[in-house]
């Protein structure tokens, strides 16, 4: 067996995925693309990686994604599927000296007509000069490099190297995908826990999948610990809690407690209680609720319960959603906390919410009332002859940009749907509407 420096090994080395001494997550690594679960947007039928392998057109790549989403595994699978020589290179354990050794080795394989895939783990940890060392060999095709990073490659990988690689974004694994991986590990008799004859309760399976943080490695290795702790043939929620060292909160994402907690969260913000709102937010996050679901509800509240009392609330809620999608967890909890405390302490008004529902109720009651002639569009001569647009008063022709003309159907003239509150920014709106009414009345007189 060849001797490599620390942090280096290839497909001929003893990466013992079948060894019973290796952690379960290592033993259960998929060996083929067909065994790979998740990242369907990259490996599904007709998708980019599937096509690259099928057509033997693999280029250098950067895998960007969170821990445990399959970056290393996917690189191994690609090497096996393309029958390439595979070298694993750790940015933590290796330096420039090892880089030179790799390329000498790769050139030897190239002379025998064999491709070398160089997998660079945590490529963002290399400094600029170390990354520069890869450039000539990637450019000449001596190696096909696959870099893996949890950090944004736009900031962490030098531009010349980035321009020679295609960046592929791997997504955090969703709970159903992790549940599938856990079930496979329990039934696999060759590499998994199948010989133990263990099952897992639905509650425990869901708990472990929700609390693995989208990390398959965490989920599988915790399952192995739970299997060692159980004294029965069924892994229970209590055993899973002990293995993961987390308690299962009373919170079923599909059941009553889900609705109880989200109701408490919304009503705490509506009731201007930031402390309670933060508590219920923490309850949901700790129980594994989807933060995007929480943020969507916050956007609704920003319009329904705050509205024009503070127009910035909606802007902040939408910005929080966009920021969270960029940042993710765990730092995303800070964004959620800021948005929740702002919404909870903002002045409240449901006037816009009541207004649109009142207008919808009128439309459903009175039907499609005719549009007054003076505010109809008149693009043709016939329409003008029929009186379309006749008498329309252009607002900007009047002082302060207000003509005071009626724009409702004649049968609804004077009807009010929007009744702003007298506090927050809506206090200014009330004053403005009072001025508009006085001006309109004076023009009529």
pLDDT tens-place string over residues 315-343:
999 999 999 998 888 899 999 999 999 99
Q: What are phi and psi of 164, to 5 degrees?
A: -95, 0
Q: How many CB atoms lie within 10 A of CB 46?
A: 7
CA-to-CA distance for 171 and 38, rounded, in angstroms?
9
Residue range(s) of every CATH 3.40.50.300 domain in the chain: 8-169
Q: Say which residue, 12 or 202, is predicted with more confidence.
A: 202
Stretch 218-232: mean pLDDT: 91
Stretch 224-238: mean pLDDT: 91
Residue range(s) of every CATH 1.20.272.10 domain in the chain: 256-345
Q: What are phi and psi of 121, to 5 degrees?
A: -80, 135
First to last CA, the chain: 101
* 295 pLDDT tier (thresholds 50, 70, 90): very high
- Rounded alpha-carbon distances, angstroms, from residue 298 to 70, 356, 424: 32, 19, 19
CA dihedral (253, 259, 264, 265) positive or negative: positive
Q: Cβ neighbours of residue 411 under 8 Å, at least 6 residues apart?
A: 366, 369
CA-to-CA distance for 306 and 266, rounded, in angstroms?
12
Q: Say which residue, 404 or 184, is predicted with more confidence.
A: 184
Stretch 110-134: mean pLDDT: 86
**What dotted CATH number matches 370-444?**
1.10.3710
Name the percent of the chain lying above pLDDT 90.
41
Stated pTM of the model = 0.55
Question: For the segment 155-181, what is each residue's pLDDT rounded down to a tens digit?
Answer: 889 999 999 999 999 998 998 999 999
**Strand pairing of 116-121 and 144-149?**
parallel
Q: In CATH, what class is 256-345?
A: mainly alpha
Helices (H) then strands (E): counts for the chain:
21, 8
Q: What is the pLDDT of residue 212?
A: 84
CA-to-CA distance for 334 and 329, rounded, in angstroms?
9
Nearest Cα to Cα of residue 172 among 200, 125, 226, 209: 209
Stretch 143-156: mean pLDDT: 89
Stretch 53-57: mean pLDDT: 87
**Strand pairing of 8-10 and 85-90?**
antiparallel
What is the SS3 assignment for 414? coil
Q: What is the pLDDT of residue 432?
A: 84
* 255 pLDDT tier (thresholds 50, 70, 90): low
CA dihedral (438, 442, 444, 445) positive or negative: positive
Residue range(s) of every CATH 1.10.3710 domain in the chain: 370-444
Nearest Cα to Cα of residue 335 among 346, 343, 344, 323: 323
Question: For the segment 14-51, what is each residue's pLDDT rounded down to a tens digit?
Answer: 344 445 678 999 999 998 888 898 899 999 999 999 99
399, 435 contact by CB (below 8 A): no
Fold annotation for 175-244? Helicase, Ruva Protein; domain 3 (1.10.8)
Question: For the segment 78-104, what is each residue's pLDDT rounded down to a tens digit?
Answer: 999 988 889 888 866 666 677 778 888
52, 137 contact by CB (below 8 A): no
Name the percent of the chain lying above pLDDT 70.
91
What does pLDDT average to over the chain? 86
Tell me, rounded to whole angstroms, the distance of Cα 322 from its chain centroid.
Answer: 10
Nearest Cα to Cα of residue 149 among 135, 165, 138: 165
The pair of three-digit structure tokens given for residue 164, joined into one six-digit string: 């020679």
Q: How many CB atoms lie within 10 A of CB 263?
A: 11
Stretch 102-123: mean pLDDT: 86
What is the SS3 assignment for 443? helix
Stretch 71-79: mean pLDDT: 92
Stretch 399-423: mean pLDDT: 84
* 249 pLDDT tier (thresholds 50, 70, 90): low
Stretch 395-414: mean pLDDT: 84
The pair of three-digit structure tokens given for residue 360, joined into one six-digit string: 């919808």
* 253 pLDDT tier (thresholds 50, 70, 90): low
CA-to-CA distance for 373 and 378, rounded, in angstroms?
10
Which residue in the block uniquely carries the two structure tokens 């379309």?
A: 388
The answer, yes or no, to whether the previous bond of 330 is cis (omega within 30 of 0) is yes
Residue range(s) of every CATH 1.10.8.60 domain in the chain: 175-244
Q: Which CATH superfamily is domain 8-169 in?
A: P-loop containing nucleotide triphosphate hydrolases (3.40.50.300)
Say how many CA atoms lie within 13 Å of 131 toward its Cβ: 22
Q: How many CB atoms lie within 10 A of CB 172?
A: 16
């Amino acid at each position: 067996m060849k001797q490599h420096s620390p942090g280096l090994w290839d497909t001929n080395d003893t990466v013992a995925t079948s060894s019973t001494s290796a952690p379960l997550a290592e033993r259960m690594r998929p060996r083929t693309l067909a065994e790979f679960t998740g990242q369907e947007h990259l490996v599904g039928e007709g998708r980019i990686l599937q096509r690259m392998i099928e057509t033997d057109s693999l280029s250098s790549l950067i895998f960007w994604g969170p821990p445990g989403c399959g970056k290393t595994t996917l690189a191994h699978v690609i090497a096996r599927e393309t029958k390439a020589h595979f070298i694993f290179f750790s940015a933590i354990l290796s330096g420039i000296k090892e880089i030179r050794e790799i390329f000498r080795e790769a050139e030897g394989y190239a002379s025998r007509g064999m491709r070398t895939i160089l997998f660079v783990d945590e490529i963002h940890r290399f400094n600029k000069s170390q990354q520069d060392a890869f450039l000539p060999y990637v450019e000449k095709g001596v190696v096909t490099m696959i870099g893996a990073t949890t950090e944004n490659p736009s900031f962490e990988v030098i531009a010349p190297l980035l321009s020679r690689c295609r960046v592929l974004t791997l997504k955090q694994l969703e709970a159903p995908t992790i549940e599938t991986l856990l079930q496979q590990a329990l039934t696999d008799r060759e590499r998994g826990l199948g010989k133990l004859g263990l099952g897992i309760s639905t509650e425990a399976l869901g708990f472990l999948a929700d609390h693995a943080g989208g990390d398959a490695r965490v989920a599988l290795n915790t399952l192995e610990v739970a299997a060692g702790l159980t004294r029965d043939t069924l892994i229970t929620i209590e055993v899973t809690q002990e293995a993961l060292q987390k308690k299962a909160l009373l919170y079923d994402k599909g059941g009553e407690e889900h609705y109880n907690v989200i109701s408490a969260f919304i009503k705490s913000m509506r009731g201007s209680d930031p402390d309670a709102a933060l508590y219920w937010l923490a309850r949901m996050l700790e129980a594994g609720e989807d933060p995007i679901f929480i943020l969507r509800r916050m956007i609704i509240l920003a319009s329904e319960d705050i509205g024009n009392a503070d127009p910035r609330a909606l802007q902040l809620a939408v910005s929080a959603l966009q920021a969270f999608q960029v940042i993710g967890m765990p730092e995303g909890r800070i964004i959620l906390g800021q948005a929740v405390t702002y919404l909870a302490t903002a002045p409240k008004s449901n006037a816009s919410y009541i207004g649109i529902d009142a207008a919808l109720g009128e439309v459903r009651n009175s039907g499609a009332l005719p549009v007054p002639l003076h505010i109809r569009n008149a693009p043709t001569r016939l329409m003008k002859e029929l009186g379309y647009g006749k008498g329309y008063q252009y607002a900007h022709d009047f002082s302060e940009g207000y003509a005071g003309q009626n724009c409702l159907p004649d049968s609804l003239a004077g009807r009010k749907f929007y009744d702003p509150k007298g506090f927050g920014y809506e206090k200014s709106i009330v004053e403005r509407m009072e001025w508009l009414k006085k001006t309109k009345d004076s023009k009529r007189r």
